[in-house]
Structure 1
């Protein structure tokens, strides 16, 4: 599709009439898309429109009939107000109780909760595989006992970098 002088003139005329880019693309035909029209409008610098295009509105619906309640013609006799009985209290549903396993290693993938210890116990390829399942500490996935194993304090740098250990290990190879 190429923009001929005739097509550009038609585009400018339709754009200034307030037609949408989709409407213009349909009238131009020949493979002109809505996006092509928008691109050409921007390249030409056409911004002002006579009136923006208006979407087609559906037929107006008739207003709904309102029911008006007329006040009673004669005042009624004063009513006696009786004390309203309070409704009986509703029974509260039991809160879900987190069942903590008594023995470590009794939680499975299906029974493992958010605040349960996720320390794996056993071989994952066997049917006896499980998780610890005891109450986990705040912000960590393990119970206190397994957190001590998982989170070891860092060894002091001096003992790791001691030259004596290095010299001792190299003696084997000399």
Structure 2
């Protein structure tokens, strides 16, 4: 497929109108979505209209303020947003996390700050911090017989099946 001047002009026009790369490929014919995206990048097309986003918003009624989302707890919702010539850029809007368990009688253990070589089969192997930084360490408290973590970290790591089913 050759990019003629007419096809490039049509691509620019459709891109500015806010059509997706798939829609543009369908209108041009004989070209894939990826070819359209590649051409958009090579042409350094930066701004575009919002026709597709406004059409999809028009179909859905707006949610009332303060209403809860029906999506999973703690998930992020992807919001398509173009930035410069990056047609595939996506921004994420975090949603508040709802607690599954009540936060009562929680005792956070004081970490013994063990390094990797200090761990053994009886110590909690819960990592704390960034492994690339010097202050990285492991919990090191007494591990339960049934797993690699202390009681507190085991409750964080392993969620009962009944609670997982309830979240769906």
Calculate the TM-score normalised by the size of structure 1.
0.31
Specify the structure having the higher radius of gyration (Cα). 1
More strand by share: 2
Larger RCO of the pair (alpha carbons < 8 Å, separation 6+): 2
Calculate the TM-score normalised by the size of structure 2.
0.32
More helix by share: 2
